[in-house]
Structure 1
Amino acid sequence: MSTAASAGVSPMLTRLADEQATGALIREYGTLYLEGGRVVHAESPATPGMDVLLTAGGAVQAERWSEAVDRAGARQRVGRYLVEQGRLTDGALELCHLGALFDAAYFTLAPSSGPSRFRYGASHWFGTVRPVPVAAVERETLRRRELLRRIWPEPDTDTAPLSRIAGPGPTVPPRRRRVLDLVDGARTASQIALALGRPAFHTLVDLRRLAAGGLVAAVPEPPARAVPPPELAVDSPDVALLHRLRAGLEAL
Protein backbone atom coordinates (compact mmCIF):
# COMPACT_ATOMS: atom_id res chain seq x y z
CA MET A 1 0.00 0.00 0.00
CA SER A 2 1.30 3.46 -0.90
CA THR A 3 2.20 6.11 1.65
CA ALA A 4 -0.72 8.25 0.48
CA ALA A 5 -3.14 5.39 0.91
CA SER A 6 -1.93 4.64 4.40
CA ALA A 7 -2.45 8.33 5.22
CA GLY A 8 -6.13 7.88 4.56
CA VAL A 9 -6.67 9.04 0.96
CA SER A 10 -8.23 5.92 -0.56
CA PRO A 11 -6.81 2.41 -0.33
CA MET A 12 -9.55 1.31 -2.73
CA LEU A 13 -8.36 3.80 -5.34
CA THR A 14 -4.78 2.57 -4.96
CA ARG A 15 -5.92 -1.02 -5.45
CA LEU A 16 -7.85 -0.07 -8.58
CA ALA A 17 -4.75 1.66 -9.94
CA ASP A 18 -2.71 -1.50 -9.32
CA GLU A 19 -5.38 -3.49 -11.18
CA GLN A 20 -5.31 -0.98 -14.07
CA ALA A 21 -9.09 -0.87 -13.73
CA THR A 22 -11.49 1.09 -15.92
CA GLY A 23 -14.71 2.46 -14.47
CA ALA A 24 -16.15 4.91 -11.94
CA LEU A 25 -15.20 5.06 -8.26
CA ILE A 26 -18.27 6.50 -6.54
CA ARG A 27 -17.76 8.02 -3.10
CA GLU A 28 -19.84 10.14 -0.76
CA TYR A 29 -18.61 13.49 -2.11
CA GLY A 30 -18.00 12.76 -5.78
CA THR A 31 -16.86 10.35 -8.48
CA LEU A 32 -13.52 9.53 -10.06
CA TYR A 33 -13.39 8.00 -13.54
CA LEU A 34 -10.51 5.65 -14.28
CA GLU A 35 -9.14 4.33 -17.54
CA GLY A 36 -6.46 1.68 -17.34
CA GLY A 37 -5.85 2.53 -13.69
CA ARG A 38 -5.39 6.28 -14.32
CA VAL A 39 -7.78 9.09 -13.45
CA VAL A 40 -9.31 10.64 -16.57
CA HIS A 41 -12.13 12.69 -15.05
CA ALA A 42 -13.55 13.73 -11.68
CA GLU A 43 -16.73 15.44 -10.62
CA SER A 44 -18.18 16.54 -7.30
CA PRO A 45 -21.29 18.49 -6.31
CA ALA A 46 -18.96 20.70 -4.26
CA THR A 47 -17.13 22.01 -7.35
CA PRO A 48 -18.11 23.85 -10.53
CA GLY A 49 -18.08 21.54 -13.56
CA MET A 50 -16.29 22.03 -16.86
CA ASP A 51 -19.36 23.81 -18.24
CA VAL A 52 -19.15 26.53 -15.58
CA LEU A 53 -15.37 26.85 -15.67
CA LEU A 54 -15.30 27.23 -19.45
CA THR A 55 -18.33 29.46 -19.93
CA ALA A 56 -18.10 31.71 -16.85
CA GLY A 57 -14.70 33.05 -17.92
CA GLY A 58 -15.72 33.39 -21.55
CA ALA A 59 -13.40 30.69 -22.89
CA VAL A 60 -16.40 29.02 -24.54
CA GLN A 61 -19.79 30.57 -25.26
CA ALA A 62 -22.72 28.86 -23.55
CA GLU A 63 -24.39 27.98 -26.84
CA ARG A 64 -21.15 26.45 -28.16
CA TRP A 65 -20.90 24.33 -25.03
CA SER A 66 -24.47 23.08 -25.50
CA GLU A 67 -23.69 22.29 -29.12
CA ALA A 68 -20.64 20.25 -28.14
CA VAL A 69 -22.61 18.25 -25.58
CA ASP A 70 -25.43 17.59 -28.04
CA ARG A 71 -23.19 16.53 -30.90
CA ALA A 72 -20.34 14.77 -29.12
CA GLY A 73 -21.60 13.77 -25.67
CA ALA A 74 -22.97 10.40 -26.77
CA ARG A 75 -19.59 9.63 -28.35
CA GLN A 76 -17.72 10.86 -25.24
CA ARG A 77 -15.77 13.40 -27.25
CA VAL A 78 -16.99 16.74 -25.90
CA GLY A 79 -13.50 18.02 -25.13
CA ARG A 80 -12.07 16.93 -28.47
CA TYR A 81 -15.07 18.40 -30.31
CA LEU A 82 -14.42 21.82 -28.79
CA VAL A 83 -10.84 21.68 -30.04
CA GLU A 84 -11.73 20.36 -33.50
CA GLN A 85 -14.32 23.13 -33.95
CA GLY A 86 -11.81 25.78 -32.97
CA ARG A 87 -13.56 26.69 -29.71
CA LEU A 88 -10.50 25.85 -27.60
CA THR A 89 -6.82 25.15 -28.12
CA ASP A 90 -5.36 21.83 -26.99
CA GLY A 91 -3.40 23.61 -24.27
CA ALA A 92 -6.39 25.51 -22.93
CA LEU A 93 -8.48 22.32 -22.84
CA GLU A 94 -5.80 20.35 -20.98
CA LEU A 95 -5.14 23.15 -18.50
CA CYS A 96 -8.82 23.66 -17.66
CA HIS A 97 -9.58 19.94 -17.48
CA LEU A 98 -6.57 19.20 -15.29
CA GLY A 99 -7.58 21.96 -12.89
CA ALA A 100 -11.15 20.68 -12.76
CA LEU A 101 -9.95 17.11 -12.23
CA PHE A 102 -7.72 17.96 -9.25
CA ASP A 103 -10.41 20.27 -7.86
CA ALA A 104 -13.13 17.61 -7.88
CA ALA A 105 -10.73 14.87 -6.79
CA TYR A 106 -9.85 16.83 -3.64
CA PHE A 107 -13.47 16.82 -2.50
CA THR A 108 -14.21 13.30 -3.75
CA LEU A 109 -11.31 11.89 -1.70
CA ALA A 110 -12.26 13.74 1.49
CA PRO A 111 -12.49 11.47 4.54
CA SER A 112 -16.00 10.14 4.96
CA SER A 113 -17.91 7.38 6.69
CA GLY A 114 -20.01 6.62 3.63
CA PRO A 115 -19.53 3.53 1.45
CA SER A 116 -17.49 3.52 -1.76
CA ARG A 117 -18.30 1.42 -4.80
CA PHE A 118 -16.76 0.87 -8.22
CA ARG A 119 -18.70 0.49 -11.45
CA TYR A 120 -16.48 -1.42 -13.84
CA GLY A 121 -16.59 -0.17 -17.42
CA ALA A 122 -18.36 3.12 -16.66
CA SER A 123 -17.06 6.23 -18.45
CA HIS A 124 -17.84 9.94 -18.58
CA TRP A 125 -19.49 11.74 -21.48
CA PHE A 126 -16.82 14.49 -21.55
CA GLY A 127 -14.20 12.06 -22.79
CA THR A 128 -10.53 11.52 -21.99
CA VAL A 129 -8.18 14.49 -22.22
CA ARG A 130 -4.98 13.56 -20.38
CA PRO A 131 -4.94 10.62 -17.92
CA VAL A 132 -3.35 11.36 -14.53
CA PRO A 133 -1.62 8.69 -12.40
CA VAL A 134 -3.46 7.87 -9.18
CA ALA A 135 -0.30 8.54 -7.17
CA ALA A 136 -0.23 12.11 -8.50
CA VAL A 137 -3.88 12.66 -7.56
CA GLU A 138 -3.25 11.32 -4.05
CA ARG A 139 -0.15 13.48 -3.56
CA GLU A 140 -1.96 16.61 -4.71
CA THR A 141 -4.92 15.84 -2.44
CA LEU A 142 -2.63 15.51 0.58
CA ARG A 143 -0.71 18.67 -0.37
CA ARG A 144 -3.96 20.62 -0.52
CA ARG A 145 -5.13 19.32 2.84
CA GLU A 146 -1.87 20.42 4.43
CA LEU A 147 -1.98 23.82 2.76
CA LEU A 148 -5.46 24.55 4.12
CA ARG A 149 -4.43 23.36 7.58
CA ARG A 150 -1.47 25.75 7.61
CA ILE A 151 -3.59 28.72 6.53
CA TRP A 152 -6.42 28.19 9.05
CA PRO A 153 -6.89 24.98 11.05
CA GLU A 154 -10.68 25.19 11.47
CA PRO A 155 -12.41 23.25 8.63
CA ASP A 156 -15.93 24.55 9.26
CA THR A 157 -15.33 27.43 6.83
CA ASP A 158 -15.20 24.84 4.03
CA THR A 159 -18.79 23.64 4.36
CA ALA A 160 -20.87 25.93 6.61
CA PRO A 161 -22.66 29.13 5.55
CA LEU A 162 -20.31 32.06 6.10
CA SER A 163 -20.81 35.52 7.56
CA ARG A 164 -18.67 38.65 7.58
CA ILE A 165 -17.15 39.97 10.78
CA ALA A 166 -17.60 43.69 11.37
CA GLY A 167 -14.50 45.80 11.73
CA PRO A 168 -11.82 47.43 9.59
CA GLY A 169 -9.66 44.33 9.25
CA PRO A 170 -6.60 44.04 7.00
CA THR A 171 -6.41 45.18 3.39
CA VAL A 172 -7.82 42.52 1.06
CA PRO A 173 -6.38 41.85 -2.43
CA PRO A 174 -8.84 42.25 -5.33
CA ARG A 175 -9.21 38.52 -5.97
CA ARG A 176 -10.00 37.84 -2.33
CA ARG A 177 -12.25 40.90 -2.19
CA ARG A 178 -14.51 39.35 -4.86
CA VAL A 179 -14.88 36.29 -2.64
CA LEU A 180 -15.55 38.42 0.45
CA ASP A 181 -18.23 40.41 -1.38
CA LEU A 182 -20.27 37.20 -1.78
CA VAL A 183 -20.15 36.27 1.91
CA ASP A 184 -23.69 37.02 3.04
CA GLY A 185 -24.49 34.73 5.96
CA ALA A 186 -26.13 32.15 3.71
CA ARG A 187 -23.70 31.09 0.99
CA THR A 188 -21.20 28.28 1.51
CA ALA A 189 -17.74 28.08 -0.05
CA SER A 190 -19.05 25.84 -2.84
CA GLN A 191 -21.87 28.26 -3.65
CA ILE A 192 -19.43 31.17 -3.77
CA ALA A 193 -17.15 29.22 -6.12
CA LEU A 194 -20.10 28.46 -8.38
CA ALA A 195 -21.17 32.10 -8.43
CA LEU A 196 -17.65 33.18 -9.38
CA GLY A 197 -17.08 30.34 -11.86
CA ARG A 198 -13.81 29.43 -10.12
CA PRO A 199 -12.37 26.15 -8.86
CA ALA A 200 -13.78 25.42 -5.42
CA PHE A 201 -10.43 24.64 -3.79
CA HIS A 202 -9.06 28.08 -4.71
CA THR A 203 -12.13 29.55 -3.05
CA LEU A 204 -11.44 27.50 0.09
CA VAL A 205 -7.93 28.96 0.18
CA ASP A 206 -9.26 32.52 -0.10
CA LEU A 207 -11.90 31.93 2.57
CA ARG A 208 -9.46 30.37 5.02
CA ARG A 209 -7.15 33.35 4.54
CA LEU A 210 -10.09 35.65 5.21
CA ALA A 211 -10.93 33.63 8.32
CA ALA A 212 -7.31 33.83 9.49
CA GLY A 213 -7.50 37.60 8.99
CA GLY A 214 -10.61 37.82 11.17
CA LEU A 215 -12.91 38.83 8.31
CA VAL A 216 -15.24 35.85 7.98
CA ALA A 217 -16.52 33.07 10.20
CA ALA A 218 -18.76 30.07 9.88
CA VAL A 219 -22.35 30.70 10.87
CA PRO A 220 -22.99 28.63 14.02
CA GLU A 221 -25.70 26.03 13.84
CA PRO A 222 -28.85 26.99 15.76
CA PRO A 223 -29.24 25.08 19.03
CA ALA A 224 -31.63 22.19 18.90
CA ARG A 225 -34.96 22.96 20.55
CA ALA A 226 -35.69 20.76 23.52
CA VAL A 227 -39.05 19.00 23.47
CA PRO A 228 -40.64 19.06 26.95
CA PRO A 229 -41.90 15.76 28.31
CA PRO A 230 -45.67 15.25 28.02
CA GLU A 231 -46.30 15.84 31.70
CA LEU A 232 -44.69 19.29 31.49
CA ALA A 233 -46.34 20.43 28.27
CA VAL A 234 -49.26 22.08 30.09
CA ASP A 235 -49.45 24.95 27.64
CA SER A 236 -50.43 22.72 24.78
CA PRO A 237 -53.98 23.61 23.59
CA ASP A 238 -54.96 19.94 23.59
CA VAL A 239 -53.74 19.42 27.13
CA ALA A 240 -55.41 22.61 28.36
CA LEU A 241 -58.70 21.49 26.81
CA LEU A 242 -58.49 18.14 28.57
CA HIS A 243 -57.88 19.89 31.88
CA ARG A 244 -60.98 22.06 31.39
CA LEU A 245 -63.12 19.04 30.46
CA ARG A 246 -61.95 17.17 33.54
CA ALA A 247 -62.69 20.16 35.77
CA GLY A 248 -66.16 20.42 34.28
CA LEU A 249 -66.87 16.74 34.83
CA GLU A 250 -65.70 16.94 38.43
CA ALA A 251 -67.99 19.94 39.01
CA LEU A 252 -70.98 17.96 37.71
Structure 2
Amino acid sequence: MIAQILGSRTDEPASAQLATLAARRASGALSTEAGIVYLAAGHVVHVESALTPALGDLLTHSGALAADGWWEAIDRAGRRCRVGRQLVDSGHLAVGALELCHLGALFDAAYFVLAHDGPALRFRPGVAHWLGAVRPVPVDAVLRESRRRRELLQRIWPEPDVDRAPLARVPGAGTTDLPARRGRILAQVDGVRTAAQIATALACRTFHTLVELRRLAAAGMVAPAAPAPAPPAAAMPGAPVTSAAPAAFEAPGPSGGPLAVSAAPGHAPGPVFPDEPETALLRRLLHALEAL
Protein backbone atom coordinates (compact mmCIF):
# COMPACT_ATOMS: atom_id res chain seq x y z
CA MET A 1 0.00 0.00 0.00
CA ILE A 2 2.82 2.44 0.78
CA ALA A 3 4.32 1.79 -2.66
CA GLN A 4 0.97 2.60 -4.25
CA ILE A 5 0.74 5.90 -2.41
CA LEU A 6 4.23 6.85 -3.59
CA GLY A 7 3.42 6.32 -7.23
CA SER A 8 3.83 2.76 -8.52
CA ARG A 9 1.10 1.29 -10.71
CA THR A 10 -1.49 -1.05 -9.32
CA ASP A 11 -4.42 -3.17 -10.40
CA GLU A 12 -6.56 -1.73 -7.61
CA PRO A 13 -9.65 0.12 -8.93
CA ALA A 14 -9.52 3.89 -8.92
CA SER A 15 -12.44 4.07 -6.47
CA ALA A 16 -10.54 1.96 -3.94
CA GLN A 17 -7.42 4.06 -4.43
CA LEU A 18 -9.42 7.23 -3.82
CA ALA A 19 -10.88 5.80 -0.63
CA THR A 20 -7.38 4.94 0.60
CA LEU A 21 -6.07 8.39 -0.25
CA ALA A 22 -9.01 10.03 1.49
CA ALA A 23 -8.39 8.00 4.63
CA ARG A 24 -4.75 9.11 4.58
CA ARG A 25 -5.75 12.75 3.92
CA ALA A 26 -3.40 12.70 0.97
CA SER A 27 -2.76 15.59 -1.43
CA GLY A 28 -1.77 15.05 -5.04
CA ALA A 29 -3.00 13.83 -8.43
CA LEU A 30 -4.40 10.36 -9.16
CA SER A 31 -4.18 9.51 -12.88
CA THR A 32 -6.43 7.03 -14.70
CA GLU A 33 -6.91 6.28 -18.39
CA ALA A 34 -9.87 8.68 -18.51
CA GLY A 35 -8.58 11.62 -16.48
CA ILE A 36 -6.98 12.95 -13.31
CA VAL A 37 -8.41 13.46 -9.84
CA TYR A 38 -6.75 16.18 -7.74
CA LEU A 39 -6.90 15.88 -3.97
CA ALA A 40 -6.05 18.18 -1.09
CA ALA A 41 -6.06 16.81 2.46
CA GLY A 42 -8.09 13.81 1.30
CA HIS A 43 -10.81 15.84 -0.46
CA VAL A 44 -11.39 16.11 -4.19
CA VAL A 45 -10.67 19.66 -5.36
CA HIS A 46 -10.78 19.15 -9.13
CA VAL A 47 -11.20 16.44 -11.77
CA GLU A 48 -10.04 16.69 -15.39
CA SER A 49 -11.05 14.50 -18.30
CA ALA A 50 -10.58 14.92 -22.03
CA LEU A 51 -14.09 13.48 -22.38
CA THR A 52 -15.75 16.54 -20.82
CA PRO A 53 -15.59 20.29 -21.54
CA ALA A 54 -12.98 22.20 -19.57
CA LEU A 55 -14.14 24.62 -16.88
CA GLY A 56 -12.88 27.58 -18.89
CA ASP A 57 -14.93 26.48 -21.90
CA LEU A 58 -18.08 26.22 -19.80
CA LEU A 59 -17.57 29.64 -18.23
CA THR A 60 -16.68 31.51 -21.41
CA HIS A 61 -19.01 29.76 -23.87
CA SER A 62 -21.97 30.28 -21.56
CA GLY A 63 -21.27 34.00 -21.29
CA ALA A 64 -20.71 33.85 -17.54
CA LEU A 65 -17.14 35.06 -18.02
CA ALA A 66 -15.33 36.91 -20.80
CA ALA A 67 -12.43 35.02 -22.34
CA ASP A 68 -10.11 37.93 -21.51
CA GLY A 69 -11.03 37.62 -17.83
CA TRP A 70 -10.31 33.89 -17.85
CA TRP A 71 -6.85 34.24 -19.39
CA GLU A 72 -6.01 37.23 -17.24
CA ALA A 73 -6.70 35.17 -14.12
CA ILE A 74 -4.50 32.36 -15.44
CA ASP A 75 -1.67 34.76 -16.20
CA ARG A 76 -1.85 36.38 -12.78
CA ALA A 77 -2.51 33.40 -10.54
CA GLY A 78 -1.89 30.17 -12.44
CA ARG A 79 1.60 29.56 -11.05
CA ARG A 80 0.29 30.14 -7.52
CA CYS A 81 -2.64 27.73 -8.02
CA ARG A 82 -5.15 30.48 -7.24
CA VAL A 83 -6.97 31.03 -10.52
CA GLY A 84 -10.38 30.49 -8.94
CA ARG A 85 -9.61 32.94 -6.15
CA GLN A 86 -8.31 35.47 -8.68
CA LEU A 87 -11.53 35.30 -10.71
CA VAL A 88 -13.55 36.19 -7.62
CA ASP A 89 -11.19 38.78 -6.13
CA SER A 90 -10.90 40.61 -9.47
CA GLY A 91 -14.68 40.86 -9.77
CA HIS A 92 -14.85 38.80 -12.96
CA LEU A 93 -17.06 36.14 -11.37
CA ALA A 94 -19.27 35.83 -8.30
CA VAL A 95 -18.17 33.15 -5.86
CA GLY A 96 -21.51 31.32 -6.13
CA ALA A 97 -21.35 31.20 -9.93
CA LEU A 98 -17.80 29.85 -9.80
CA GLU A 99 -18.70 27.16 -7.24
CA LEU A 100 -21.77 26.05 -9.18
CA CYS A 101 -19.95 25.76 -12.50
CA HIS A 102 -16.90 24.13 -10.91
CA LEU A 103 -18.95 21.46 -9.11
CA GLY A 104 -20.77 20.66 -12.35
CA ALA A 105 -17.47 20.28 -14.21
CA LEU A 106 -15.97 18.23 -11.36
CA PHE A 107 -18.83 15.72 -11.22
CA ASP A 108 -19.02 15.50 -15.02
CA ALA A 109 -15.34 14.58 -15.29
CA ALA A 110 -15.55 12.24 -12.30
CA TYR A 111 -18.30 10.26 -14.04
CA PHE A 112 -15.92 9.39 -16.89
CA VAL A 113 -12.93 8.78 -14.62
CA LEU A 114 -14.98 6.30 -12.58
CA ALA A 115 -17.40 5.02 -15.25
CA HIS A 116 -15.59 1.69 -15.66
CA ASP A 117 -13.63 1.97 -12.41
CA GLY A 118 -10.47 0.67 -14.02
CA PRO A 119 -7.13 0.65 -12.24
CA ALA A 120 -5.44 3.88 -11.34
CA LEU A 121 -2.21 4.43 -13.24
CA ARG A 122 -0.27 6.52 -10.77
CA PHE A 123 -0.59 8.82 -7.78
CA ARG A 124 1.77 11.80 -7.66
CA PRO A 125 1.98 13.27 -4.16
CA GLY A 126 1.96 17.04 -3.80
CA VAL A 127 0.79 17.88 -7.34
CA ALA A 128 -1.68 20.78 -7.23
CA HIS A 129 -4.04 22.01 -9.92
CA TRP A 130 -3.62 25.56 -11.21
CA LEU A 131 -7.27 26.38 -10.48
CA GLY A 132 -6.84 25.99 -6.73
CA ALA A 133 -9.43 24.70 -4.29
CA VAL A 134 -12.86 26.18 -5.01
CA ARG A 135 -15.11 23.93 -2.92
CA PRO A 136 -13.48 20.65 -1.83
CA VAL A 137 -15.76 17.61 -2.07
CA PRO A 138 -15.46 14.47 0.09
CA VAL A 139 -14.34 11.41 -1.85
CA ASP A 140 -17.36 9.37 -0.77
CA ALA A 141 -19.68 12.07 -2.19
CA VAL A 142 -17.85 11.91 -5.55
CA LEU A 143 -18.05 8.10 -5.62
CA ARG A 144 -21.72 8.12 -4.67
CA GLU A 145 -22.68 10.72 -7.29
CA SER A 146 -20.71 8.93 -10.02
CA ARG A 147 -22.50 5.69 -9.19
CA ARG A 148 -25.90 7.42 -9.24
CA ARG A 149 -25.20 8.92 -12.67
CA ARG A 150 -23.98 5.63 -14.07
CA GLU A 151 -27.12 3.83 -12.88
CA LEU A 152 -29.43 6.53 -14.25
CA LEU A 153 -27.82 6.47 -17.69
CA GLN A 154 -27.92 2.67 -17.68
CA ARG A 155 -31.68 2.77 -17.09
CA ILE A 156 -32.21 5.20 -19.98
CA TRP A 157 -30.06 3.31 -22.53
CA PRO A 158 -27.62 0.53 -21.62
CA GLU A 159 -25.02 1.09 -24.38
CA PRO A 160 -22.17 3.32 -23.09
CA ASP A 161 -20.66 3.88 -26.55
CA VAL A 162 -22.96 6.88 -26.87
CA ASP A 163 -20.93 8.64 -24.19
CA ARG A 164 -17.61 8.67 -26.07
CA ALA A 165 -18.01 7.92 -29.77
CA PRO A 166 -18.75 10.42 -32.55
CA LEU A 167 -22.51 10.35 -33.03
CA ALA A 168 -24.69 10.33 -36.15
CA ARG A 169 -28.40 10.63 -36.77
CA VAL A 170 -30.22 7.45 -37.73
CA PRO A 171 -31.61 7.84 -41.28
CA GLY A 172 -35.38 8.06 -41.42
CA ALA A 173 -35.84 8.79 -37.73
CA GLY A 174 -38.42 11.49 -37.01
CA THR A 175 -37.49 14.68 -35.16
CA THR A 176 -40.88 16.12 -34.26
CA ASP A 177 -42.25 16.82 -30.79
CA LEU A 178 -38.88 16.81 -29.05
CA PRO A 179 -38.33 18.87 -25.88
CA ALA A 180 -36.39 22.05 -26.61
CA ARG A 181 -33.09 20.96 -25.05
CA ARG A 182 -33.21 17.56 -26.72
CA GLY A 183 -33.89 19.19 -30.06
CA ARG A 184 -30.94 21.56 -29.64
CA ILE A 185 -28.67 18.63 -28.83
CA LEU A 186 -29.94 16.59 -31.78
CA ALA A 187 -29.18 19.53 -34.06
CA GLN A 188 -25.51 19.24 -33.06
CA VAL A 189 -25.27 15.54 -33.99
CA ASP A 190 -23.35 15.51 -37.26
CA GLY A 191 -21.44 12.23 -37.44
CA VAL A 192 -18.27 13.89 -36.12
CA ARG A 193 -18.96 15.41 -32.72
CA THR A 194 -18.84 13.44 -29.49
CA ALA A 195 -21.03 14.09 -26.46
CA ALA A 196 -18.30 16.25 -24.90
CA GLN A 197 -17.94 18.33 -28.07
CA ILE A 198 -21.69 18.81 -28.27
CA ALA A 199 -21.76 19.87 -24.63
CA THR A 200 -18.97 22.38 -25.28
CA ALA A 201 -20.71 23.81 -28.34
CA LEU A 202 -23.89 24.38 -26.32
CA ALA A 203 -22.08 25.43 -23.11
CA CYS A 204 -23.92 22.62 -21.30
CA ARG A 205 -22.78 20.24 -18.63
CA THR A 206 -21.81 16.91 -20.07
CA PHE A 207 -24.10 14.84 -17.88
CA HIS A 208 -27.21 16.75 -18.98
CA THR A 209 -26.10 16.25 -22.58
CA LEU A 210 -25.53 12.53 -21.99
CA VAL A 211 -29.02 12.11 -20.55
CA GLU A 212 -30.59 13.60 -23.68
CA LEU A 213 -28.29 11.70 -26.05
CA ARG A 214 -29.09 8.40 -24.39
CA ARG A 215 -32.79 9.23 -24.66
CA LEU A 216 -32.29 9.95 -28.34
CA ALA A 217 -30.44 6.64 -28.71
CA ALA A 218 -33.24 4.80 -26.92
CA ALA A 219 -35.71 6.40 -29.34
CA GLY A 220 -33.65 5.14 -32.29
CA MET A 221 -32.69 8.65 -33.41
CA VAL A 222 -28.90 8.66 -32.87
CA ALA A 223 -26.19 6.02 -32.85
CA PRO A 224 -22.39 5.87 -32.82
CA ALA A 225 -21.08 6.92 -36.22
CA ALA A 226 -19.51 4.29 -38.43
CA PRO A 227 -15.70 4.65 -38.48
CA ALA A 228 -14.32 6.32 -41.57
CA PRO A 229 -12.45 3.97 -43.92
CA ALA A 230 -8.67 4.24 -43.82
CA PRO A 231 -7.19 6.03 -46.85
CA PRO A 232 -5.11 3.82 -49.15
CA ALA A 233 -1.37 4.06 -48.75
CA ALA A 234 0.72 5.39 -51.61
CA ALA A 235 2.23 2.49 -53.51
CA MET A 236 5.33 2.20 -55.65
CA PRO A 237 4.78 0.89 -59.20
CA GLY A 238 4.50 -2.86 -59.10
CA ALA A 239 4.19 -2.97 -55.30
CA PRO A 240 1.09 -4.39 -53.64
CA VAL A 241 -1.35 -1.85 -52.26
CA THR A 242 -1.92 -2.13 -48.53
CA SER A 243 -4.21 -0.27 -46.18
CA ALA A 244 -2.62 2.46 -44.15
CA ALA A 245 -2.04 1.45 -40.58
CA PRO A 246 -3.88 3.62 -38.06
CA ALA A 247 -1.70 6.20 -36.39
CA ALA A 248 -0.63 5.44 -32.88
CA PHE A 249 -2.80 7.19 -30.31
CA GLU A 250 -0.76 9.76 -28.44
CA ALA A 251 -2.36 10.64 -25.13
CA PRO A 252 -1.11 13.51 -22.99
CA GLY A 253 -0.87 13.84 -19.26
CA PRO A 254 0.36 16.76 -17.15
CA SER A 255 3.74 16.46 -15.54
CA GLY A 256 4.55 17.09 -11.93
CA GLY A 257 6.28 16.00 -8.76
CA PRO A 258 6.18 16.87 -5.06
CA LEU A 259 4.65 20.31 -4.59
CA ALA A 260 4.38 20.73 -8.35
CA VAL A 261 1.72 22.65 -10.24
CA SER A 262 -0.27 20.79 -12.88
CA ALA A 263 0.38 21.53 -16.55
CA ALA A 264 -0.80 24.71 -18.21
CA PRO A 265 -4.57 25.01 -18.71
CA GLY A 266 -5.95 23.58 -21.90
CA HIS A 267 -8.02 20.58 -22.89
CA ALA A 268 -6.29 17.32 -23.71
CA PRO A 269 -7.62 15.50 -26.78
CA GLY A 270 -7.47 12.01 -25.29
CA PRO A 271 -7.22 9.92 -22.13
CA VAL A 272 -4.37 10.67 -19.77
CA PHE A 273 -1.28 8.52 -19.45
CA PRO A 274 1.29 9.95 -17.07
CA ASP A 275 4.47 8.80 -18.83
CA GLU A 276 4.76 11.58 -21.44
CA PRO A 277 5.24 14.85 -19.50
CA GLU A 278 6.99 16.79 -22.27
CA THR A 279 4.37 15.86 -24.87
CA ALA A 280 1.66 16.70 -22.37
CA LEU A 281 2.95 20.16 -21.61
CA LEU A 282 3.56 21.08 -25.24
CA ARG A 283 0.17 19.82 -26.34
CA ARG A 284 -1.65 21.68 -23.56
CA LEU A 285 0.24 24.88 -24.29
CA LEU A 286 -0.70 24.52 -27.97
CA HIS A 287 -4.38 24.17 -27.11
CA ALA A 288 -4.18 27.13 -24.74
CA LEU A 289 -2.63 29.31 -27.46
CA GLU A 290 -5.19 28.20 -30.03
CA ALA A 291 -7.97 29.24 -27.65
CA LEU A 292 -6.68 32.83 -27.45
Determine the structure 2 residue equivalent to 1:110: 115
Asked if the contact 1:18–1:37 (Cα under 8 Å) also holds between the matched residues in 2, the reply is yes
Question: Could you tell me the TM-score, scaled by structure 2's length?
Answer: 0.71
| Equivalent in 85, 89, 106 of residue 94 of structure 2 | 89
Determine the structure 1 residue equivalent to 2:199: 193
Relative to structure 1, the CA distance from residue 238 to residue 151 in structure 2 (aligned partners, 3 Å threshold; closer, same or farther) is closer
Relative to structure 1, the CA distance from residue 131 to residue 115 in structure 2 (aligned partners, 3 Å threshold; closer, same or farther) is closer
Separation in structure 2 between the aligned mates of residue 112 and residue 11 of structure 1, nearest angstrom: 9
Determine the structure 2 residue equivalent to 1:146: 151
Asked if the contact 2:30–2:120 (Cα under 8 Å) also holds between the matched residues in 1, the reply is no
Asked if the contact 2:30–2:37 (Cα under 8 Å) also holds between the matched residues in 1, the reply is yes
Asked if the contact 1:13–1:134 (Cα under 8 Å) also holds between the matched residues in 2, the reply is yes
Asked if the contact 1:28–1:112 (Cα under 8 Å) also holds between the matched residues in 2, the reply is no
- Number of aligned positions between the proteins: 222
Separation in structure 2 between the aligned mates of residue 115 and residue 83 of structure 1, nearest angstrom: 34
Residue deviations 1:167-186 (CA, integer Å, cap 9, x gap): 32552111111110111112
Alignment of 1:37-116 (within 5 A): 37-111=42-116, 115-116=120-121
Asked if the contact 2:51–2:164 (Cα under 8 Å) also holds between the matched residues in 1, the reply is no
Separation in structure 2 between the aligned mates of residue 9 and residue 23 of structure 1, nearest angstrom: 14
Please state how far the C-alpha of 1:220 moved relative to its aligned partner: 3.6
Letter paired with 1:217: A
**Which stretch of structure 1 is more off in the superposition, 22-31 or 214-223?**
214-223
Separation in structure 2 between the aligned mates of residue 114 and residue 10 of structure 1, nearest angstrom: 9
Asked if the contact 1:170–1:213 (Cα under 8 Å) also holds between the matched residues in 2, the reply is no
Asked if the contact 2:17–2:120 (Cα under 8 Å) also holds between the matched residues in 1, the reply is no
Separation in structure 2 between the aligned mates of residue 27 and residue 19 of structure 1, nearest angstrom: 19
Letter paired with 1:19: R
Letter paired with 1:208: R
Please state how far the C-alpha of 1:114 moved relative to its aligned partner: 5.9
Separation in structure 1 between the aligned mates of residue 227 and residue 61 of structure 2, nearest angstrom: 32
Unaligned runs of 5+ in 2: 1-12, 231-236, 241-292
Relative to structure 1, the CA distance from residue 222 to residue 59 in structure 2 (aligned partners, 3 Å threshold; closer, same or farther) is closer
Task: Indicate whether 1:202 and 2:238 are aligned.
Answer: no
Q: Which has the higher helix share?
A: 1
Please state how far the C-alpha of 1:108 moved relative to its aligned partner: 1.4
Alignment of 1:211-226 (within 5 A): 211-221=217-227
Please state how far the C-alpha of 1:9 moved relative to its aligned partner: 5.9
Secondary structure class of the residue paired with 1:10: helix
- Considering only aligned residues, what root-mean-square deviation do their CA atoms show, in Å? 2.1
Please state how far the C-alpha of 1:77 moved relative to its aligned partner: 1.1
Asked if the contact 1:22–1:120 (Cα under 8 Å) also holds between the matched residues in 2, the reply is yes
Q: Whose radius of gyration is greater, 1 or 2?
A: 1
Q: Where do 4+ consecutive residues of structure 1 move more than 4 Å?
A: 112-115, 221-224
Unaligned runs of 5+ in 1: 1-7, 225-235, 240-252
| Equivalent in 168, 171, 178 of residue 177 of structure 2 | 171
Task: Indicate whether 1:29 and 2:3 are aligned.
Answer: no
**Which stretch of structure 1 is more off in the superposition, 196-205 or 23-32?**
196-205
Asked if the contact 1:179–1:203 (Cα under 8 Å) also holds between the matched residues in 2, the reply is yes
